[in-house]
């Protein structure tokens, strides 16, 4: 296949990963995005807000998502011991469930997987598992992907695109693209020429603390759908969360939610408190409280995960231009909270779709 001009819309984790996979085909790739890695955090740019860790609950009931997640884990596990090591942290992860979970567990493919004994469960948990995985320092990882893309000869154009016809006509680019790949995340809902009304926000709120003594991950999934997690990063920062609120567009952290997150995470991980302070509390027989974490809080934040009714949109088509011509287009968006953990798998599928479209 000859080298063609491919334009990728979006510079989140999905857009960057997809652009890298397309480069492997030998094409000239340009990313067009309003926000880029390294920018000040914004509610309009979701990927930097992610935790993130690789924990996939998809099994045989959704083999496509399961396979994308497992493919991505294999790539990230290898990356975590290579040149991208600084982006990752290999950890022991413990998952607590408020209800009994029947075997087999879809996580049983993870390194050193095992079921917890009843004596090892936290209050509020009826079952649990333990395994090894990786956490991803999201801002660091996004910069790594962008740097790798640029080193491979990729081009970046910062622009706010109202309609994909602006790209097809060459309005923002030095040359017209031979194909478009849409990785617009939550923006796919309003991007002209796509306007996918099945896309909706899943708002998540987090607290970032400085706690380099925490080198393990814990999560509790409650009956009411509440999701409590501790995700350490290689830098020594730790993400605490979280929330999952469909169709909630609120752009700022809610103080009452921050308090709730701190209370929940302390309930499953009192070790978040600085060791000397925790030892003092234990001598007094006092449980840690949110105020015991105030001195190590770095920031509170929230992001809008790009949910989609029907799941990820991974398909190809043709976009008709005003002058009657058509251009191949591939869609890769709607990952919800699974953007990082499925990124390499969905990028590989999108790249295969592009090859078919250009054949």
- Per-residue pLDDT of 53-108, as tens digits, reads 999 989 989 999 999 999 999 999 999 999 999 999 999 999 999 999 888 999 99
ω into 52 cis (within 30 of 0):
yes
Q: Is the confidence at residue 171, as pLDDT, over 80? A: no
Report whether 336 belongs to an annotated binding site.
no
pLDDT at 222: 87
Residue linked to tokens 């004596």: 119
Report whether 161 belongs to an annotated binding site.
yes
Mean pLDDT of 114-137: 96
Phi, psi of 22 (to 5 degrees): -65, -35
Q: What is the DSSP letter of 48?
A: G
- Per-residue pLDDT of 194-218, as tens digits, reads 999 999 999 999 999 999 999 999 9
CATH class of 5-358: alpha beta
What percentage of residues in the chain have a pLDDT greater than 70? Answer: 100
- Per-residue pLDDT of 252-283, as tens digits, reads 999 999 999 999 999 999 999 999 999 999 99
Of residues 7, 46, 40, the one with CA closest to residue 23: 7
pLDDT band at 1 (very low <50, low <70, confident <90, very high): low
Report whether 47 belongs to an annotated binding site.
yes
Pairwise CA distance, residues 115 & 130, whole Å: 6
Residue of 2 and 293 predicted with greater confidence: 293
Report whether 189 belongs to an annotated binding site.
no
Using alpha carbons, list the distances in angstroms from residue 118 to 98, 102, 266: 12, 14, 21
Report whether 42 belongs to an annotated binding site.
no
User: Are 124 and 265 in contact, with CB atoms under 8 Å apart?
Assistant: no
Q: Is 108 helix (H, G, I), strand (E, B) or coil?
A: helix
Q: Exposed, middle or buried by CB within 10 Å (0-12, 13-18, 19+), for 291?
A: exposed
Report whether 10 belongs to an annotated binding site.
no
């Amino acid at each position: 296949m000859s080298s063609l001009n491919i334009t990728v819309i979006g510079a989140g984790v999905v857009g960057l990963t997809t652009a890298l996979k397309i480069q492997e085909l030998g094409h000239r790739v340009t990313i067009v995005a309003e926000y880029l890695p390294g920018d000040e955090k914004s509610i309009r740019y979701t990927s930097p807000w992610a935790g993130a860790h690789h924990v996939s609950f998809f099994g045989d009931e959704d083999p496509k998502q399961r396979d994308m997640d497992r493919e991505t884990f294999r790539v990230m596990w290898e990356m975590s011991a290579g040149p991208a090591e600084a982006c990752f942290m290999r950890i022991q992860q413990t998952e607590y469930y408020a209800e009994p979970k029947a075997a087999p567990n879809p996580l049983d493919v993870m390194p050193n997987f095992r079921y917890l004994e009843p004596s090892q469960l936290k209050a509020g948990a009826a079952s649990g598992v333990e395994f090894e995985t990786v956490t991803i320092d999201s801002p660091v990882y996004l910069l790594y992907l962008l740097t790798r893309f640029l080193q491979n000869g990729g081009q970046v154009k910062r622009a706010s695109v109202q309609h994909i016809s602006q790209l097809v006509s060459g309005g923002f680019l030095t040359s017209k693209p031979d194909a478009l790949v849409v990785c617009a995340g939550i923006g796919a809902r309003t991007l002209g020429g796509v306007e996918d009304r099945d896309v909706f926000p899943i708002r998540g709120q987090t607290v970032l603390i400085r706690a380099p003594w925490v080198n393990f991950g814990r999560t509790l999934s409650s009956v009411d759908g509440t999701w409590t997690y501790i995700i350490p990063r290689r830098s020594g920062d730790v993400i605490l969360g979280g929330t999952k609120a469909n169709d909630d567009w609120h752009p700022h952290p809610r103080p009452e939610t921050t308090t709730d997150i701190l209370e929940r995470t302390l309930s499953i991980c009192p070790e978040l408190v600085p060791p000397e302070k925790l030892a003092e509390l234990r001598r007094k027989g006092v449980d840690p409280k949110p105020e015991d974490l105030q001195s190590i809080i770095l920031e509170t934040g929230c992001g809008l995960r790009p949910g989609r009714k029907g799941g990820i949109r991974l398909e190809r088509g043709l976009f008709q231009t005003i002058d009657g011509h058509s251009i191949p287009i591939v869609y890769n968006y709607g990952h919800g909270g699974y953007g990082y953990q499925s990124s390499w798998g969905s990028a590989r599928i999108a790249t295969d779709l592009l090859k078919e479209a250009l054949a």
